[in-house]
């Protein structure tokens, strides 16, 4: 048998399996029953030597063999040679054909590359320099070896569907049917455990040692972290893969930011030896999670903890022996306690780094800033003490920036969530935020949702080239104009929200007047008073049913206490997409005045203004409908149009209020 260096390939022409035992004295004769080829080799003490004794050749099937037996055997036959020495020790040698090699490796669990101690027992090689990875993470991969997860699709499906029939060895044998390398063996075992073994919270709390035994785990399909690690190690060893259990501290269920670790270890995971190096896995955390509010376990497969890069694994796993960090340089327990904890979803969803790099942050002049860098555009949201308030979150092409303004002094829990490629936001980062002095001048509207300001996402939703690329708009007179391109077939809706004053649900759109020019939309905004307002922007595809979708909002700020703008005129459904209003822009007209009107209206035959009387508008050479109207004796004024000259029905398009005398 030849084992090629640094390879899993095995070249075998013949495999000899040797059994030694004392010759039975019963009836003065030795047993002539051949050794069971299906039984694993048994250790019965060292063989002192073989003298000149009786030697016999046997077959399991067919006639006795004679002569040059090895070369003449059929491919499916097994030969057995039995010999005795002068002390009565029996030596049985099985000769198996070449075609039986793969099954025999699985059957007899031939562990490869195992060291032997002074007593002859096999033991795993301890991690050394060639096993280590550089710290901090170099961003090259989430894994400790090059992997294409697509290569596991068939194997993963198969392994997840294998059921327990009898014992552990048969289960491993079934899993290995589709595994053709050590890597695939480890993958099959990992997938099976992660999809079939449930975390037993009661056993973990009671420290029930019975729950750790593989036989009990197979029966109940429940265990705790020690049981997961022990089962994983046992199954790997049965399959012939070097594996060890690593105890240590973890930032898992029940972990509190800034927590110190001491006393007995609270977790266990595994290291496996693949392709000449040690690699780390945690099947407990790969299988699912425990809800902290209900203490119930939910199966939720997590790929992150399979062959995790050690520089990432150290963020929430600290082994009892620093060598099992597989890092250069290794980290101290104090560093482990103080280092920023990025949850697995942080990396699963494509995050690369975050600032600050400490889990406890303090405000400066009432503000704290968090930035995240991601490898691709990602949607984010945040919660401060469980509410999406008191922060400005703006999206960047590869990440986000969050400014947080706590309303009062105190300690806060800041959580950041990311969406990634899924439809679900997942918690990726958590900080403890300490505010010694709040900035009372900053009071953000409660309706200011995330994100704030245009971004790659608004462009993706059909809004392009905004006139204001920054998230905050400052105005000294309480008015502003925001414009942007709109893709074909997209409708835009906007509304203004403040925390106090006359902006109610009925009038929140009346402080915005929307104008369309070809593929450009302009939003004219007039604030009812000084303060901070959220200008929310929604879009919808015209040809599709359903509601408008929120895209982003601006924060509009005005400190001028003299500002007191009225609403814009109310528009009706017949107000055309490409219509333009030049005057009057105020939705409230003075009483007893002649008020000039100027509009650009498309596709109409006639236009008029109706108050106490009717006032026709005329079409100018420049394409504007112009005229004037007296507000005497009326409470409301309407602009009306006739779309077809052959009809006599006029449609309402604008409505104005008239001030009381």
Q: Give the chain's domains with CATH numbers.
A: 131-331 (3.10.620), 346-435 (2.60.40.10), 456-558 (2.60.40.10), 570-658 (2.60.40.10)
- Report pLDDT for 206: 74
Which one has a higher pLDDT value, 498 or 52? 498
Read off the pLDDT of each residue in 101-129 and give the average, rounded to a whole number.
Answer: 55
Taking residue 425's Cβ as centre, other Cβ atoms within 10 Å add up to 16
| pLDDT of 455 higher than 90 | yes
557 is catalytic: no
Q: Kindly tell me if the per-residue pLDDT of 203 is higher than 80.
A: no
* 287 C-beta neighbours (distance < 10 Å), count: 23
Q: Please count the other Cβ atoms lying within 10 Å of the Cβ belonging to residue 569.
A: 23
Q: What is the pLDDT of residues 260-293, one digit of tens each?
A: 999 999 999 999 999 999 999 999 999 999 887 7
How far is the C-alpha of 101 from the C-alpha of 109, rounded, in Å?
A: 12
Q: What per-residue confidence (pLDDT) applies to 213?
A: 87
Antiparallel, parallel or unpaired: β 297-299 and 89-96: unpaired
Q: What is the pLDDT of residue 48?
A: 27
Q: Taking a C-beta distance cutoff of 8 angstroms, is the pair 278, 266 a contact?
A: no
The rounded percent of the chain whose pLDDT value lies above 70 is 79
User: What integer pLDDT is reported at residue 429 of this predicted model?
Assistant: 95
Token digits of residue 240: 């012939």
Query: Is 368 buried (19+), middle (13-18) or exposed (0-12) by CB count in 10 A?
Result: buried
CA distance 368 to 366: 7
Burial class (CB in 10 A: 0-12, 13-18, 19+), 621: exposed
As a whole number, mean pLDDT of residues 294-314 equals 95
Let me know the angle formed at the C-alpha of 107 by 105 and 109, rounded to the nearest 5 degrees. 60
- The Cα 89–Cα 85 span in angstroms is 6
Q: Is the pLDDT of residue 20 over 70?
A: no
pLDDT: which is higher, 114 or 657: 657
CA distance 432 to 293: 19
Dist. CA 510–CA 570, nearest whole Å? 6
- Please check the confidence at residue 227 and state whether its pLDDT lies above 60: yes
Best-predicted range by mean pLDDT among 365-374, 500-509, 541-550? 365-374
Q: What is the DSSP letter of 332?
A: P
Q: What secondary structure does DSSP assign to 180-235, as a single string?
A: -SHHHHHHHHHHHHHHH-EE-HHHHHHT-GGGGSHHHHHHH-EE-HHHHHHHHHHH
Q: Tell me whether residue 480 is one of the annotated catalytic residues.
A: no
**What pLDDT digit, counting tens, does each position of 182-200 carry?**
999 999 999 999 999 999 8
pLDDT digits (tens, 9 = 90+) for 478-489: 999 999 999 998
Q: Which two tokens stand for residue 438?
A: 């709040």
pLDDT of residue 383: 97
Residue 56: pLDDT band (50, 70, 90) is very low
Whether the pLDDT of residue 121 is over 50: the answer is no
What is the predicted pLDDT for the residue at 503? 61
- The predicted structure's pLDDT at residue 26: 35
Catalytic member of 19, 96, 133, 267: 267
The conformation of residue 330, written as its DSSP 8-state character, comes to P
Q: Is the confidence at residue 87, as pLDDT, over 70?
A: no
CA torsion angle for 140, 145, 148, 149 (degrees, to 10)? Answer: -110
- Average pLDDT over every residue of 368-388: 96
**Average pLDDT score, the chain:** 83
Q: Kind of pairing, strands 651-658 and 588-589?
A: parallel
Distance of CA 133 to the CA centre of its chain: 24
**Predicted TM-score of the model (pTM):** 0.75
- Quick one: average pLDDT of 8-26? 45
Least confident of 168-177, 374-383, 542-551: 542-551
Model confidence at 32: pLDDT above 60:
no
Bridge partners for 257 per DSSP: none
Q: What is the mean pLDDT of residues 302-313?
A: 98
Give the pLDDT mean for 204-218: 78
Q: What is the mean pLDDT of residues 339-344?
A: 92
- Among 208, 291, 280, 286, smallest CA distance to 244 is for 280
Check 225, 236, 629, 634 and give the catalytic one: 225
Q: Which of 85, 156, 182, 282 is catalytic?
A: 282
Residues 456, 395 contacting (CB under 8 angstroms): yes
pLDDT of amino acid 73: 37
C-alpha pair distances (Å), 383 with each of 77, 415, 420, 458: 70, 5, 18, 22
The pLDDT score that the predictor gives to residue 78 is: 52
Q: What is the pLDDT of residue 509?
A: 78
Within 10 Å of residue 523's Cβ, how many Cβ atoms?
20
435 noted as active-site residue: no
Average pLDDT over residues 227-243: 96
pLDDT cut 90: percent of the chain above it: 64
How many C-beta atoms surround the C-beta of residue 71 within 10 A? 6
Is the model's pLDDT at 105 over the cut of 60?
no
Query: Residue 452 and residue 156: Cα distance in Å, rounded?
Result: 42
Nearest partner of 337 among 369, 320, 312, 314, judged by Cα: 314
287: part of which helix (H) or strand (E)?
helix 283-287
* pLDDT beyond 90 at 116: no
The DSSP output letter for 396 is: E
Measure the CA–CA gap between 624 and 600, rounded to whole angstroms.
5
Dist. CA 468–CA 401, nearest whole Å:
17
pLDDT of 208 reads: 63
Q: How far is CA 328 from CA 142, 366, 384, in A?
A: 17, 39, 37
pLDDT at 30: 35
CA dist 194 and 72 (Å) reads 48
Judge whether 288 and 297 are in contact, CB under 8 Å: yes
Number of other residues whose CB lies within 10 A of the CB of residue 597: 23
DSSP 104-173: HHHHHT---S-EE-TTS-EEPPPP-GGG-EESS--SS-SBSS---GGGGHHHHHHHHH----S-HHHHHH
Which whole number is the average pLDDT over 595-618?
Answer: 94
pLDDT of residue 49: 30
Q: Is the peptide bond before 25 cis (omega within 30 degrees of 0)?
A: no
Burial classification of residue 35, based on how many CB atoms lie within 10 Å of its CB (0-12 exposed, 13-18 middle, 19 or more buried) = buried
pLDDT in tens, 411-432: 999 999 999 877 889 999 999 9
Which of 126-140, 238-252, 521-535, 569-583 has the weakest average pLDDT? 569-583
What per-residue confidence (pLDDT) applies to 422? Answer: 79
Q: 112 vs 419, which has greater pLDDT?
A: 419
First-residue to last-residue Cα distance in the chain:
109
* Whole-number pLDDT of residue 164: 94
């Amino acid at each position: 048998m030849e084992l090629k260096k640094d390879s899993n390939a095995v070249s075998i022409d013949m495999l000899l399996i040797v059994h030694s035992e004392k010759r039975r004295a019963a009836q003065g004769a030795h047993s002539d029953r051949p050794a069971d080829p299906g039984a694993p080799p048994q250790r019965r003490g060292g063989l002192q030597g073989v003298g000149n004794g009786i030697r016999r050749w046997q077959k399991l099937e067919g006639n006795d063999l004679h002569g040059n037996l090895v070369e003449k055997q059929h491919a499916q036959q097994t030969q057995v040679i039995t010999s005795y020495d002068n002390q009565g020790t029996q030596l049985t040698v099985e000769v198996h054909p070449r075609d039986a090699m793969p099954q025999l490796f699985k059957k007899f669990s031939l562990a490869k590359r195992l060291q032997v101690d002074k007593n002859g027992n096999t033991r795993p090689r301890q991690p050394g320099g060639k096993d280590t990875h550089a710290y901090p993470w170099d961003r090259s991969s989430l894994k400790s070896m090059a992997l294409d997860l697509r290569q596991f699709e068939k194997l993963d499906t198969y392994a997840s569907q294998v059921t327990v029939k009898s014992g552990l060895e048969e289960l491993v044998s079934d899993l290995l049917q589709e595994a053709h390398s050590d890597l695939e063996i480890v993958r099959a075992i990992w997938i099976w455990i992660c999809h079939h073994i449930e975390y037993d919270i009661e056993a973990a709390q009671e420290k029930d040692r019975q729950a750790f035994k593989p036989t009990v785990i197979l029966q109940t399909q429940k265990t705790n972290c020690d049981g997961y690690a022990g089962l994983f190690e046992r199954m790997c060893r049965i399959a012939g893969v070097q594996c060890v259990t690593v105890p240590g501290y973890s930032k898992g269920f029940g972990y509190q930011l800034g927590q110190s670790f001491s006393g007995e270890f609270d977790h266990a995971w595994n290291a496996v030896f693949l392709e000449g190096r040690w690699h780390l896995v945690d099947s407990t955390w790969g299988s699912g999670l425990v809800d902290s509010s209900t203490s119930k376990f939910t199966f939720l497969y997590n790929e992150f903890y399979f062959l995790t890069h050690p520089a990432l694994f150290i963020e929430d796993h600290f082994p009892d022996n620093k060598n099992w960090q597989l890092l250069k340089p290794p980290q101290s327990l104090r560093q482990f306690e103080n280092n920023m904890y990025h949850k697995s979803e942080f990396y699963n969803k494509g995050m690369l780094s975050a600032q600050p790099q400490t889990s406890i942050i303090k405000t400066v002049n009432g503000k704290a800033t968090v930035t995240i860098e991601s490898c691709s555009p990602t949607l984010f949201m945040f919660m401060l003490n469980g509410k999406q308030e008191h922060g400005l979150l703006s999206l960047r092409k590869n990440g986000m920036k969050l400014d947080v303004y706590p309303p009062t002094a105190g300690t806060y829990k800041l959580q950041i969530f990311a969406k990634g490629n899924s439809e679900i936001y997942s918690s990726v980062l958590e900080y403890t935020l300490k505010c010694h002095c709040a900035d009372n001048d900053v009071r953000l509207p409660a309706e200011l949702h995330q994100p704030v300001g245009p971004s790659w996402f608004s462009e993706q939703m059909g809004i392009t080239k905004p006139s204001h690329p920054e998230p905050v708009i400052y105005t000294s007179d309480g008015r502003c104009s925001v414009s942007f391109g709109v893709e074909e077939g997209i409708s835009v809706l906007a509304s203004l929200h403040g925390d106090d004053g006359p902006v109610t649900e009925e009038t929140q759109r009346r402080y915005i007047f929307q104008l369309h020019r070809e593929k450009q939309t302009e939003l004219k905004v007039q604030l009812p008073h000084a303060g901070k307002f959220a200008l929310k922007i929604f879009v919808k595809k015209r040809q599709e049913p359903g509601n408008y979708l929120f895209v982003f909002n601006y924060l509009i700020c005005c400190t001028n206490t003299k500002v007191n703008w009225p609403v814009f005129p109310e528009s009706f459904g017949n107000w055309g997409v490409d219509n333009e209003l030049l005057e009057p822009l105020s939705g409230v007209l003075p009483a007893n005045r002649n008020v000039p009107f100027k509009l650009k209206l498309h596709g109409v035959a006639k236009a008029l203004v109706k108050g106490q009387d009717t006032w026709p508008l005329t079409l100018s050479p420049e394409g504007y409908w112009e005229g004037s109207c007296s507000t005497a004796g009326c409470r409301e004024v309407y602009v009306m149009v006739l779309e077809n000259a052959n009809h006599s029905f006029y449609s309402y398009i604008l409505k104005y209020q008239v001030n009381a005398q």
